[in-house]
Amino acid sequence: MELTMAQLASIGRWLNISLGSFMLIIGLAGSIINLWLFTRHRYRKSPCSRFILTSSIFDMLHLLVALFPRVLAEGFDIDPASWSTAGCRIRYYLITFSAYTALGCRCLAVFDRYACTSRSISFRQWSSFKIAYRFITINILIWACFSLPNFLFFNLVPMGTPLRLVCYIWKQEYYNYFAYFVNPVLYFALPLVIFILFTILTQKNLRMMKKSTRVKRLERQMTSMIILQAISNSVSSIPYGVQFAYSVVSHNAKKDAYRLAQEHLFLQITRLSYYINFITAFYIYYISSHQIRATIKRHLKFKEVSKTKEHTSLLNLSKE
């Protein structure tokens, strides 16, 4: 039995409200825990922690400027970006800036793990705090400048039936640039190649130095964490790549209203899967690192002991 157009629209709305809200909450919580975790003394010892901290900050920013307004717009028909031209342009500047800066930090983290596990002493020097700070600064500056055209080419455009103002790219050439180069190449293909290449090379380094004690336990765990995150990012990018490929292939095809409704639902699903990259970091680290699990459990246990002592003290005071 085929679903009606109204049912397809309801499913999309429900997914954005329920799943989108859930992803927003766990994503923000995970980023906040990462900020707390990787500013602790033990984890600050690794240069890779700087990439994790920076990506966590921009993950949080991206969720607030991209996912949160999307939940409001697709789930509740409240689109803050359509309220003013300035708001529209600022939002899409921050969306592009935060997404690519966070992604750049993840690519740099994978490279850092490869450098850290290299047998070459000179190449291992690329894994240092000095290099990490330089890479992070360059990464932020590149994407801050790269996103500036959004201020020119995003505007409130009348779209849909009935017509309503939507924040969208108003110049076709810039739309083509984003649709056929920026998104497929810079967001999907290039990071995927970097993740796969340096994950394979790092795994090769780890096998070659399996019996070596040169790499500290913390660095080994950090390496495992980053490799798993790279794999997760690669897999979660596949639906986005499939959706883009389909949209290009079927661009000139004649489509009835029902097919457009089906494609819109598929688009909602792939857009939500896109945010997996920005919400899973902490949970991957927690699963893959014994030290992180121990740190969090120890902190929670300390909190419980503190509360018990405080409660006991209050009882003793009341008895007196």
The 10 Å Cβ neighbour count of residue 259 is 12
Lowest-confidence region among 25-29, 51-55, 88-92, 230-234? 230-234
Nearby residues of 87 by Cβ (< 8 Å), 6 or more positions away: 80, 81, 167
Q: Examine the pLDDT at 301 and tell me if it is beyond 80.
A: no
| pLDDT score, position 131 | 95
Q: Examine the pLDDT at 19 and tell me if it is beyond 70.
A: yes
What sign does the CA torsion over 211, 119, 197, 139 have? positive
| pLDDT score, position 307 | 53
Yes or no: say if 241 and 193 are a contact pair by the CB < 8 Å rule. Answer: no
Amino acid in position 201: L
Confidence of residue 315 (pLDDT cuts 50, 70, 90): very low
Q: Examine the pLDDT at 26 and tell me if it is beyond 80.
A: yes
Confidence of residue 90 (pLDDT cuts 50, 70, 90): very high
The 10 Å Cβ neighbour count of residue 277 is 25
Phi, psi of 155 (to 5 degrees): -155, 170
Percent of the chain whose pLDDT exceeds 70: 89
Q: Examine the pLDDT at 122 and tell me if it is beyond 90.
A: no
pLDDT tens digit sequence for 136-154: 999 999 999 999 999 999 9
Q: What is the mean pLDDT of residues 61-69?
A: 95
Q: What is the mean pLDDT of residues 72-78?
A: 86
Structural domains present in the chain:
5-313 (1.20.1070.10)
Q: Examine the pLDDT at 33 and tell me if it is beyond 60.
A: yes
CA atoms within 13 A on the CB side of 314: 6
Yes or no: say if 215 and 118 are a contact pair by the CB < 8 Å rule. Answer: no
Q: Examine the pLDDT at 240 and tell me if it is beyond 80.
A: no
Q: Examine the pLDDT at 78 and tell me if it is beyond 90.
A: no
DSSP 251: T
d(CA 269, CA 318): 57
pLDDT tens digit sequence for 169-209: 888 899 889 888 888 889 888 988 999 899 899 888 888 77
Q: What is the pTM of this model?
A: 0.86
Confidence of residue 161 (pLDDT cuts 50, 70, 90): low
| pLDDT score, position 304 | 52
Max mean pLDDT range (150-154, 245-249, 289-293, 310-314): 150-154
| pLDDT score, position 303 | 56
Confidence of residue 32 (pLDDT cuts 50, 70, 90): very high
| pLDDT score, position 118 | 87
Nearby residues of 69 by Cβ (< 8 Å), 6 or more positions away: 79, 80, 81, 91
Yes or no: say if 95 and 62 are a contact pair by the CB < 8 Å rule. Answer: yes
